[in-house]
Amino acid sequence: MTDRTLWRSTKRIFCKNKVTVAAFVFVAAIVVIAIFAPQIATHNPNRCNYRDMLSPPSQAHWFGTDELGRDIFSRVVYGARISLLVGILALVVGLLIGVTIGLLSGYYGGTIDIIGMRFIDLLLSFPGILLAILICAAFGSGLFPVILAIGMYSVPTFSRITRGSVLAIKGRGFVEAARALGASTPRILVRHVLVNILGPILVYATLRMGSAVLTTAYLSFLGVGVAPPTPEWGLMLNTARNFMRESPHVILFPGVAIFISVLAFNILGDGLRDLFDVKQQ
Domain boundaries of the chain, sorted by first residue: 3-40+61-280
Which ranges constitute the DSSP H helices of 36-71?
37-40
Q: For the residues 88-99, what does the mean pLDDT come to?
A: 91
Which ranges constitute the DSSP H helices of 55-197?
72-108, 110-124, 128-139, 143-169, 173-180, 185-187
In sequence order, the 6+-apart residues with CB closer than 8 A to the CB of 134 are 126
| Cα–Cα distance measured from residue 6 to residue 3, given in angstroms and rounded to the nearest whole number | 5
R_g (Cα) of the chain, nearest Å: 22
Percentage of the residues of the chain whose pLDDT score is greater than 90:
30
Q: Is the pLDDT of residue 3 over 60?
A: no
| Cα–Cα distance measured from residue 161 to residue 152, given in angstroms and rounded to the nearest whole number | 15
For 3-40+61-280, the fitting CATH number among 3.40.50.360, 3.40.50.10680, 1.10.3720.10, 3.40.47.40 is: 1.10.3720.10
pLDDT band at 278 (very low <50, low <70, confident <90, very high): very low
In terms of phi and psi (left: phi > 0; alpha: psi -120 to 50; beta: otherwise), the region of 166 is alpha
For 162-178, the DSSP string reads HHHHHHHHTTSHHHHHH
pTM listed for this prediction: 0.84
User: Using CA atoms in the order 140, 132, 126, 93, what is the torsion angle rounded to 10 degrees?
Assistant: -110
12-34 pLDDT per residue, tens: 655 667 788 888 899 999 999 99
| Cα–Cα distance measured from residue 164 to residue 168, given in angstroms and rounded to the nearest whole number | 6
Say which range, 56-60, 242-246, 271-275, has the weakest mean pLDDT. 271-275
Q: Is the pLDDT of residue 71 over 90?
A: yes
Q: Is the pLDDT of residue 53 over 80?
A: yes
Percentage of the residues of the chain whose pLDDT score is greater than 70:
91
Closest CA to 33 of 87, 67, 84, 91: 84
Q: For the residues 95-107, what does the mean pLDDT come to?
A: 92
Angle between helices 72-108 and 18-35 (to 10 degrees): 110
Q: Residue 15 has what pLDDT?
A: 63
Q: Is the pLDDT of residue 136 over 70?
A: yes
Q: Residue 10 has what pLDDT?
A: 59
In sequence order, the 6+-apart residues with CB closer than 8 A to the CB of 176 are none
Q: Is the pLDDT of residue 257 over 90?
A: yes
pLDDT, averaged across the chain: 85
In sequence order, the 6+-apart residues with CB closer than 8 A to the CB of 196 are 169
pLDDT band at 36 (very low <50, low <70, confident <90, very high): very high
196-222 pLDDT per residue, tens: 888 888 888 888 888 889 888 888 888
| Cα–Cα distance measured from residue 92 to residue 208, given in angstroms and rounded to the nearest whole number | 11
Q: Is the pLDDT of residue 2 over 60?
A: no
| Cα–Cα distance measured from residue 153 to residue 126, given in angstroms and rounded to the nearest whole number | 10
Q: For the residues 240-245, what does the mean pLDDT come to?
A: 87
